[in-house]
């Protein structure tokens, strides 16, 4: 497994995957879609403020169109965001995705807005050059004793909370639907009836389904 073969993975609860798999017309909603449609009430804490500030700095005038994912080697994403993981089709996102060296909101807390606007080299890359960004970030954590089985845990470190996660963030411009999905991975067994419902809906759209116990 090399950084060139990594995939973009979105973590969501099983109920949200079922919604996306229900129709070709169901679109993965952004934070701004939910707030603007009055189907989600912001918590009103500091994270709402930091989120908007960070995303406005990095995605000026188009932050509402960005969907977020994590770079992974094995189809398993950030467990703090859900127990189901959507692996996106490379051919559906390669032309509209970039990668960032970490969580953009946490990056803002470590620096200043102006540093997000004028990023130094090595912190952001187009999808086709994600391997270079991974090398810039992680090279010091690798040596001749590092095994291939350790790569996934180095690239994506699960934290006790989402603020403790360490990963390469993927930014995808534009809609994501069931047609953008290559595979769904579940990290623990669901109820039998839910497993069947999810498998059947995904099979209908030729999306692979995997359970990791």
Chain segment 30-59, per-residue pLDDT in tens: 988 888 876 777 776 677 888 888 899 889
**Higher pLDDT, residue 18 or 118:** 18
The average pLDDT across 90-119 equals: 86
CA distance 70 to 49: 22
Lowest mean pLDDT among 79-88, 103-112, 152-161, 172-181: 103-112
pLDDT band at 146 (very low <50, low <70, confident <90, very high): confident
**Higher pLDDT, residue 194 or 206:** 206
| Mean of the per-residue pLDDT values of the chain | 89
The average pLDDT across 182-191 equals: 87
Q: What is the pLDDT of residue 190?
A: 77
Domain assignment of residue 55, given as a range: 3-211
pLDDT band at 113 (very low <50, low <70, confident <90, very high): low
The average pLDDT across 19-30 equals: 91
Q: What is the pLDDT of residue 176?
A: 96
Q: What is the pLDDT of residue 59?
A: 93
Residue 171's DSSP bridge partners are 68, 98
Question: Is 154's pLDDT higher than 80?
Answer: yes
The average pLDDT across 155-177 equals: 95
Number of structural domains (the chain) is 1
Q: What is the pLDDT of residue 107?
A: 84
Q: What is the pLDDT of residue 121?
A: 83
The average pLDDT across 173-195 equals: 90
β 181-186/7-12 pair status: unpaired
Question: Is 23's pLDDT higher than 80?
Answer: yes
Choose among 57, 28, 3: nearest CA to 173: 28
pLDDT band at 130 (very low <50, low <70, confident <90, very high): very high
Tally of residues, the chain: 213
- Alpha helix (H) ranges present in the chain? 14-20, 31-36, 46-58, 90-93, 104-110, 113-117, 130-138, 151-155, 192-204
CA distance 175 to 90: 14
* CB contact burial 23-33 (16+ within 10 A = b; e otherwise): eeeeebbbbee
Q: What is the pLDDT of residue 122?
A: 84
């Amino acid at each position: 497994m090399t950084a060139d073969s990594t995939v973009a993975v979105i973590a969501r609860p099983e109920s949200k995957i079922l919604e996306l798999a229900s129709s070709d017309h169901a679109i993965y909603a952004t934070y701004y879609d939910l707030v603007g449609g009055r189907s989600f009430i912001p918590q009103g804490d500091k994270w709402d403020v930091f989120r908007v500030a960070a995303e406005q700095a990095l995605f000026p005038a188009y932050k509402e169109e960005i969907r977020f994912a994590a770079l992974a080697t094995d189809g398993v994403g950030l467990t703090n965001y859900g127990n189901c993981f959507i692996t996106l089709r490379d051919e559906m996102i390669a032309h509209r995705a970039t990668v960032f060296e970490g969580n953009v909101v946490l990056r803002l807390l470590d620096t200043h807005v102006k540093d997000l606007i004028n990023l130094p080299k090595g912190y952001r890359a187009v999808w086709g050059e994600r391997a270079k960004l991974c090398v810039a970030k992680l090279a010091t954590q690798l040596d001749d004793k590092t095994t291939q089985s350790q790569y996934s845990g180095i690239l994506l470190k699960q934290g006790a909370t989402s603020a403790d996660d360490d990963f390469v963030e993927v930014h995808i411009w534009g809609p994501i639907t069931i047609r953008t999905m290559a595979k769904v991975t579940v990290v623990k067994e669901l109820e039998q009836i839910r497993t069947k419902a999810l498998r059947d809906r995904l099979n209908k759209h030729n999306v692979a389904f995997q359970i990791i116990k």
